Chain A
Amino acid sequence: MSTYNLDITRERCPMTFVKAKLHLEQLEPGDTTEILLTAGEPLDNVPRTATEQGYQVLESIHVRDNIHKLIIRKP
């Protein structure tokens, strides 16, 4: 089991979703990852699509200003 990190706070659509998707694809079952993202489109959609694709969004934490952190696990 490994822990990964991804920062997509500087990315713009559609690369926010592209990088999140490619990052999640490299997880093995049981792995968790922390994704830093901004409020708005990324925060609205990354957790939703991750859930739709079978990942577990364990936590969504407000870090500072408009930056949030998601903790996602591949079951």
Chain B
Amino acid sequence: MAEQQKLSIISMSGDFDKVIAVFTLASGAAAVGYQVNIFFTFWGLNSIKKVTGRSFIGSGFMARFFNFLLGGRKNLPLSRLNFGGLSPILMTGMMKGKNVATLEELFDASKALKVNFYACEMAMHVLGLGREDFIPEVKDVLGVASFLELSKGGQTLFI
């Protein structure tokens, strides 16, 4: 067998379409044998929150307010033409109708294929979030230096 290739993705956007791109690339790469790492930072953290809808989580009034507005994986907005959250629902329906994997299916596939999830320590601190606010599949909480170390020698994408 050839030496394992590696893909590392920095997931910063909390937009529905960009998060779909993250999990499409992650699950596809893991399926063809890549080691895949995703480093979730700022709005990207929304997709790995334990709570998938809007909830006052985090420490501090401002953080709790922000996290309520941001929500979780099931209320991510489309980057364009969001129409108050209607478009992601319509888009998910279109994807199902055309037999294309939905965000939840891509997310579950990424977990099943053992994609490595990492959370950004600094962004968690700003948003008042702790490790307990994230799904248990999050492997570690990292900073830039550790992420660079684990992505070394592979391809890196910023989404």
Inter-chain residue pair count (beta carbon < 8 A)? 52
Q: Which of A1-42 contact B (CB under 8 A)?
A: 10-15, 17-18, 20-22
Enumerate chain B interface residues (CB-CB to A < 8 A).
Answer: 1-2, 24-25, 27-28, 30-33, 98-101, 105-106, 109, 112-113
From B31, which residue of chain A is reached at the shortest CB distance? Answer: A17
In the complex, which range does the number of interface residues on chain A fall in?
10 to 19
Since A14-B28, A22-B112 are in contact, a sample of 6 more A-B pairs with Cβ atoms closer than 8 Å, ordered by chain A residue number, is: A12-B101, A14-B24, A14-B101, A14-B106, A21-B30, A49-B33
The minimal Cβ–Cβ distance linking B155 to chain A, given in whole angstroms, is: 16
Contact of B113 (CB < 8 Å), options: A11, A18, A49, A52: A18
Q: How far is the CA of A12 from the CA of B28 in the complex (A)?
A: 11
The minimal Cβ–Cβ distance linking A48 to chain B, given in whole angstroms, is: 8
The minimal Cβ–Cβ distance linking B28 to chain A, given in whole angstroms, is: 3
Q: How far is the CA of A13 from the CA of B109 in the complex (A)?
A: 12
Across the interface, do B101 and A15 meet the contact criterion of CB distance under 8 Å?
A: yes
Across the interface, do A12 and B2 meet the contact criterion of CB distance under 8 Å?
A: no
Given contacts A10-B99, A21-B113, A22-B113, contact A54 B31 (CB under 8 A): no
Across the interface, do A52 and B33 meet the contact criterion of CB distance under 8 Å?
A: yes
From B25, which residue of chain A is reached at the shortest CB distance? Answer: A14
